[in-house]
Structure 1
Amino acid sequence: MAIQVLKPKFHVEECLEGVRECLEKGWTGMGFKTVEMEEEWKKYTGHKYAYYLNSNTVGLHLAVKILKMNNGWADGDEIISTPITFVSTNLAIAYENMKPVFADVDDYLCMDPVDVEKKITPKTKAVIFVGYGGRVGQLDKIIEICKKHNLKLILDAAHMSGTKVNGVCPGTWDGVDVTVYSFQAVKNLATGDSGMICWADEKSAEMTRMLAWCGINKDTYARSNKGTYAWKYDVDYIGYKYNGNAIMAAIALTQLKYLDEENARRRQIVNMYNEGFKNNPKIKIIPAPHADECSYHLYELIVPNREELLNKLSDDGINCGVHYRDNTEYSVFAFGDGQAPKAREVSQHLITMPLHMWLTDDDVKTIIEKVNQYV
């Protein structure tokens, strides 16, 4: 059987128990398990506010939209972002008729603070920092820049479930306005698809609850959980259908129990990779600050012969991937071409190694052997 690049491991029987509870209770939508997941996530991360959503993508959209509403931003205003990310990050900016400006990347493949500061203009309103692969990068310096220039900071923590620095979740750091997580199908905390948005302030958190539920000021669960059903509500905003559901939350609650244990295994695999590739002069390993607490959603290498390597490994039953293509190569963001030359160069040589709970030590040794043979 081929080795997959990303493959979630579900604790099936426990997940099914949680799903069964939803089905037997007759509550599969928002509420019940989604509320429980929000509370457990706040305990785990230290966030003050949390709202369970159907994806990280919609969370990023709500983050931009609410900040725009509350701060009087105009169409055409700018948000500094990264071109090395899944396209959702930058689509969230475009959804609100704002313009992504692309900062270059550092050696961690996260935002380069020096380039971020160079890209600030009078139209700049915010920065979206992506914790690429689970790495915290130079987030502390980005926070300083945002404070200095009075910019809002959105943390796209799609890869960061379980990442900590000295035991503290980076999304809770002072200066981070909102953090958005992903519990998509192959993430460290996998469900079918869902996510979480965590604001630093109560007003934005309350707006999220309404905007994510069609603008309604009191959701069905809130109107039903005291034994009677109060049918009447108002619609305060033109909202969306972005809420998460109880079935996904039931799976998430089970997966959360094992997140730290499984992230520890990811770090073991990464250490094996690092040791196995360190003496190959043609391979560049992506470093991680605070590596002993990194979630390591991805493990990538920079190689000279990516396409050839992908094909040879595939022939050997080892499926690798590419995360990510420089977003300015996509038609919708082609206006950013040339803004981040290092990101463009790196993106053409990145290859993602298999990293998941199904890998054995022997699998990892085989991968290392084959990569070193072909690079």
Structure 2
Amino acid sequence: MSIQLFTPTFRVDECLEEIRECLEKGWTGLGFKTVEFEKKWMEYTGLPNAHFISSATVGLSLALKVLKMENGWSNDTEVITTPLTFVSTNHAILYEDLTPVFADVDQFLCLDPVDVEKKITPNTRAIMFVGIGGNSGQYHEIVKLCNKYNLKLILDAAHMAGTRVNGEIPGKEADVAVYSFQAVKNLPTADSGMICFKEKSHDDICRKLTWLGINKDTYARSNDKGAYKWKYDVEYVGYKYHGNSIMASIGLVQLKYLDADNAYRRQLASWYDKNFENHFSKIRPISVAETCESSRHLYVIQVDNRDELLLALNESEVYPGVHYRDNTEYSMYSHAKGTCPNSHYLSERILSLPMHLRLSKNEIDHISKLIIKYA
């Protein structure tokens, strides 16, 4: 039987029960379930605002759009970002006609604050921090740099649902945090996300932007009284980016199990760690920051024969992944090639091992033995 990198687990009966309520009430779009999920997410994270959206990618775009609008950024404004991420992180910067400036990564695969500081110029207005694999890296050093240079901080928390740093959900220090609930994330739906602004005024603008710029959504209007409840204003050129109640229904169920699921992911990681502890000369697991209780969306190792190892594992019906290719290797970002040597070095050696709730210790042992054999 093959072992996949990601296989999501859904509490099917509970999800169907939540969805049934939407179908029976005839309200499947933005509405009572999206509002409930937003409230539950704020309770869980302690973040002051949360808006349920159709994907984390649109959330990153909206984060930059609102910050650009509210702070009067010009189109030559620079945003410092990482080259070791899914390409949507950096596409979001381009969506808003801003300039991505790539800084190198550290031993955690997160932004290296030393290189970040070197890349700050008079045109820098923000830093995009990616908590890759659920790792917080040197996040608080990045927070300090933002405070020192008066920069905005966007936390790309796509992998960080349930991550804690010193016992707290990170993100309260950021101007905006964006989470992913895409199909294979730790809190999976089919696809959706959450955008969490620090400022209520930014959350208000974002809600209008996700509903075509309209200042009163259909669910709010449904609760209005009188002959003019149909009447609204259009304040922005907005988009159709809001989430829907079907996805929120699944999210509400998945949220109940998030901490327990993440605890099991950390158990999987500890089994890998134990299996590799006498083989660090050829298999080097990427470490988690000391103060971080990671969501463990990923378990990443560094090896010198990554591509050959990947093929050998595939031959044995084990299907790992790579997170990620150095973005400066893509043609559209090739102008920055060579600016982040550690990212480039690591992107040719890292391999993400299977990490999902259906894996057993026997399967982790099987995968580990194959890696020790072929690395």
TM-score (norm 2): 0.98
Structure 1 Cα separation of the partners of residues 168 and 230 of structure 2: 42
Letter in 2 for 1:192: A
Match of 2:29 in 1: 29
Q: 1:374 to 1:227 in 2, by over 3 A?
A: farther
Match of 1:189 in 2: 187
Structure 2 Cα separation of the partners of residues 328 and 268 of structure 1: 34
**Residues 254-276 of structure 1 deviation map (CA, whole Å, 9 limit, x = unaligned):** 00010000000000000111111
Structure 1 Cα separation of the partners of residues 291 and 166 of structure 2: 11
Is residue 2:202 matched to residue 1:204? yes
Report the Cα offset of residue 71 of structure 1.
0.6
Match of 2:332 in 1: 332
Structure 1 Cα separation of the partners of residues 337 and 234 of structure 2: 42
Is residue 2:155 matched to residue 1:155? yes
**Residues 124-171 of structure 1 deviation map (CA, whole Å, 9 limit, x = unaligned):** 010000001001110100000011001000000000000012321111
Report the Cα offset of residue 110 of structure 1.
0.2
Q: Structure 2, unaligned stretches of length 5 or more?
A: none
Letter in 1 for 2:270: N
Question: 3-state SS of the aligned residue for 1:222?
Answer: helix
Report the Cα offset of residue 17 of structure 1.
0.6
Match of 1:267 in 2: 266
Match of 1:278 in 2: 277
Report the Cα offset of residue 333 of structure 1.
1.1
Match of 2:231 in 1: 232
Does structure 2 conserve the Cα–Cα contact (< 8 Å) formed by 1:278 and 1:285?
no
Match of 1:14 in 2: 14
Is residue 2:215 matched to residue 1:223? no
Structure 2 Cα separation of the partners of residues 304 and 225 of structure 1: 61
Question: 3-state SS of the aligned residue for 2:101?
Answer: strand
Q: 1:26 to 1:275 in 2, by over 3 A?
A: same
Does structure 2 conserve the Cα–Cα contact (< 8 Å) formed by 1:312 and 1:374?
yes
Letter in 2 for 1:356: H
Q: Structure 1, unaligned stretches of length 5 or more?
A: none
Does structure 1 conserve the Cα–Cα contact (< 8 Å) formed by 2:110 and 2:130?
yes
Match of 1:68 in 2: 68
TM-score (norm 1): 0.98
Does structure 2 conserve the Cα–Cα contact (< 8 Å) formed by 1:282 and 1:303?
yes
Q: 1:250 to 1:228 in 2, by over 3 A?
A: farther
Report the Cα offset of residue 339 of structure 1.
1.3
Does structure 1 conserve the Cα–Cα contact (< 8 Å) formed by 2:163 and 2:292?
no
Letter in 2 for 1:220: T
Q: 1:228 to 1:329 in 2, by over 3 A?
A: farther
Does structure 1 conserve the Cα–Cα contact (< 8 Å) formed by 2:136 and 2:292?
no
Q: 1:227 to 1:353 in 2, by over 3 A?
A: farther
Say which is worse superposed, 229-238 or 348-357, in terms of deviation: 229-238
Match of 1:255 in 2: 254
Letter in 1 for 2:83: P
Match of 1:369 in 2: 369
Number of aligned residues: 373
Question: 3-state SS of the aligned residue for 1:125?
Answer: strand
Match of 1:180 in 2: 178
Structure 1 Cα separation of the partners of residues 82 and 312 of structure 2: 31
Question: 3-state SS of the aligned residue for 2:178?
Answer: strand
Question: 3-state SS of the aligned residue for 1:301?
Answer: strand
Question: 3-state SS of the aligned residue for 2:247?
Answer: helix
Report the Cα offset of residue 334 of structure 1.
1.1
Structure 2 Cα separation of the partners of residues 225 and 269 of structure 1: 47
Question: 3-state SS of the aligned residue for 1:171?
Answer: coil
Q: 1:283 to 1:7 in 2, by over 3 A?
A: same
Match of 1:77 in 2: 77
Report the Cα offset of residue 225 of structure 1.
2.8
Structure 2 Cα separation of the partners of residues 41 and 233 of structure 1: 28
Report the Cα offset of residue 315 of structure 1.
1.1
Structure 2 Cα separation of the partners of residues 228 and 287 of structure 1: 60
Letter in 2 for 1:28: T
Percent pairwise identity: 56
Report the Cα offset of residue 364 of structure 1.
0.4
Does structure 2 conserve the Cα–Cα contact (< 8 Å) formed by 1:267 and 1:292?
no
Off by >3 Å, runs of 4+ in structure 1: 226-229
Does structure 1 conserve the Cα–Cα contact (< 8 Å) formed by 2:166 and 2:292?
no
Does structure 2 conserve the Cα–Cα contact (< 8 Å) formed by 1:215 and 1:236?
yes
Q: Over aligned residues, Cα RMSD in angstroms? A: 1.1
**Residues 17-55 of structure 1 deviation map (CA, whole Å, 9 limit, x = unaligned):** 111111111001011100000000000000110000000
Report the Cα offset of residue 12 of structure 1.
0.5
